[in-house]
Amino acid sequence: MNITYLMQYVSRRLHTIVRKFSVQDGSREKVCERADLTENAFFADEEDVYAEELLSLAESDCPPLIAMGEEGVSYGIVHSGEWVFIVGPVVLAPGSESRHKLPPLVAAASLIPFLYRCRAADMISELLLIQNLFRENICSMHETADYNFLDRSMTMEVNREFTDIVFRHQEEVSTHNPYDQEVREVDSIRNGDLEQLKRSWAEDYIGELGILADDPLRNCQNLGIVLVTLASRAAIEGGLLPETAFSLSDSYIRKLEEARAPESAYQLGRQAEYHYALLVKEEREKKAGGEKAFVTDSRVSQCKDYIFAHLHGRITTAQIAKALYINPNYLSGLFKKEEGITIGQYILQEKIKLVKNMLIYSRYSYVEIANYLGFCSQSHLGEKFKKATGLTLHQYREKYGVKGFMGK
């Protein structure tokens, strides 16, 4: 194996230094594809200053180790049996906190302006490339992340708190809300059954909502996030496009984070449930044939996902077919058979839905909306919109637009 080439590849990917140390005789090799690092006096001397400290962290028969110091400055260490590879330094993105700490000397803040910033997942991928080329037993991304970033003390704390909660509930004869009520709630969203959803909300039972945080506001925000997450997955199972469900989920969760009162946060979660159930209901009403209509060819679903992701521009069947590696004529026929309308009609339908939202909830001008959604002009958009809705753009905004967004 050309190990030097491997080191050069990883160096280019992470824009940092890669070192190799022989376990047998202590011989070493250093590769760096960045001239600004190799010419920097600090990095020229770094190997001698830090090598022993980093080598002492290397462990055989373990996943790659990520050692982190101040400000996210990190090194990756791979023990391949015959060699120890040290990759770094890099700066890991905020939110990554390795269990393996570096002493202050190694985590010098003066390094940061020179270092590449990356996600923990990117660094793990490169470390696994090195390790798995030399090992028979393949190490996974999950194992490496668990080894480096899972705080064992937190797991013990979870078990301790779980024991306390169970004991307290037994002492106080209190329980969580019944599971079957949650099932009915989720089923109503999956089926687009608004009345059943309302009935499930109104059920009377002995139990209490989970406590997900000590602060009342944070607790209700977390409960709202749980409601949104469950509702989005149920809606996908009910036929809603995954991209639509996920995007709506992102929007609701961001608004939950902005909530200033526990009641408003919790009710926003309930509103999300209703919104998802309504979207499923509308999706089902568009389809004929009941449940059978939801056994959709995966290529049609992929076609819809592509359309949703590219609504801001001009979309052609040829573009979609090329992205899905399928014949355009075959895709057109398959889509018409499954959906009852052509791809072009579906694209226009989805664009009109987005135009409605923008007219109701934004201050964008008609020209801006037309440009954003790939219409050749405002008049072209207006013509298509009136044909679909019976109203002009101005009439629709005046009738349905939220006053705060309209500047009134």
Residue 385 lies in a domain: yes
Which pLDDT value is given to residue 107? 44
Q: Are 73 and 185 in a shared domain? A: no
Q: Are 294 and 339 in contact (CB under 8 A)?
A: no
Please give the residue that has the higher pLDDT: either 210 or 344: 344
**Whether residue 337 sits in one domain with residue 247:** no
Query: Going by C-beta distance under 8 Å and a sequence separation of 6 or more, which residues neighbour residue 112?
Result: 71, 73, 91
- Residue 203 parent element (H or E): none
Angstrom distance (rounded) from CA 228 to CA 241: 16
Claim to verify: residue 18 and residue 131 sit in the same structural domain: yes
State pLDDT tens for residues 281-337. Answer: 888 877 654 444 444 677 888 898 888 888 888 899 999 999 888 999 999 999 998
Predicted pLDDT of residue 158: 53
- This prediction has a pTM of 0.51
Residues 375 and 260 in one domain: no
Last residue of a domain, one of 243, 266, 288: 288
Domain that holds residue 66: 3-150
Residues 26 and 137 reside in one and the same domain: yes
pLDDT at 318: 93
User: Has residue 116 been placed in a domain?
Assistant: yes
Same domain as 271, residue 202: yes
pLDDT at 241 over 50: yes
pLDDT tens across 42-53, in order? 555 555 556 777
Instruction: Please list, in sequence order, all residues whose beta carbon lies within 8 angstroms of the beta carbon of residue 331, skipping any fewer than 6 positions away.
Output: 299, 303, 317, 320, 321, 324, 343
- Collect all residues with Cβ–Cβ distance below 8 Å to 80 and sequence separation of at least 6: 130, 131, 133, 134, 135
Residues 262 and 310 in one domain: no
| Res. 104: pLDDT tops 70 | no
Q: What is the pLDDT of residues 358-380, one digit of tens each?
A: 888 778 899 989 988 889 899 99
223 and 338 share a domain?
no
Residue percentage of the chain with pLDDT more than 90: 17
Specify the CATH number for the domain of residue 397. 1.10.10.60
Lowest mean pLDDT among 42-51, 72-81, 191-200, 287-296: 287-296
Does 157 map to a domain?
no
Q: What is the pLDDT of residues 256-284, one digit of tens each?
A: 888 888 888 888 888 889 999 998 988 88
Please indicate whether residue 241 or residue 408 has the higher confidence score (pLDDT).
241
Q: Are residues 358 and 255 in the same domain?
A: no
275 and 185 in a common domain:
yes
Q: What is the DSSP letter of 390?
A: S
Check if the beta carbon of residue 194 is closer than 8 Å to that of residue 273: no
pLDDT value, residue 330:
92
Q: Which helix (H) or strand (E) holds 89?
A: strand 83-92
105/25 same-domain check: yes
Inside any domain, residue 183: yes
Say what the pLDDT of residue 290 is. Answer: 42
**CATH code at position 121:** 3.30.450
Domain closes at, from 222, 255, 288: 288
Number of domains in the chain: 3
Report the distance separating Cα 20 and Cα 18, nearest Å.
7
253 within domain boundaries: yes
pLDDT over threshold 50, residue 408:
no
Query: What is the structure's pLDDT at 47?
Result: 52
CA 108/CA 152 separation, integer angstroms: 27
Tell me the DSSP string of 308-360: HHTTTS---HHHHHHHHTS-HHHHHHHHHHHHSS-HHHHHHHHHHHHHHHHHH
- Of 288, 304, 333, the domain-final residue: 288
Residue 292: the pLDDT is 43
Q: Is residue 160 part of a domain?
A: no
More confident residue, 34 or 349: 349
Instruction: Mark whether 345 and 282 lie in a shared domain.
Output: no
Contacts of 57 (CB under 8 A, 6+ apart): 65, 67, 77, 100
Q: Is residue 254 very low, low, confident or very high in pLDDT (cuts 50, 70, 90)? A: confident
Bridge partners, residue 91, by sequence: 73, 117
The pair phi, psi for residue 118, each rounded to 5°, is -145, 165
Q: What is the mean pLDDT of the chain?
A: 80
Q: What is the pLDDT of residue 153?
A: 56
Range ranked top by mean pLDDT from 47-51, 66-70, 121-125 = 121-125
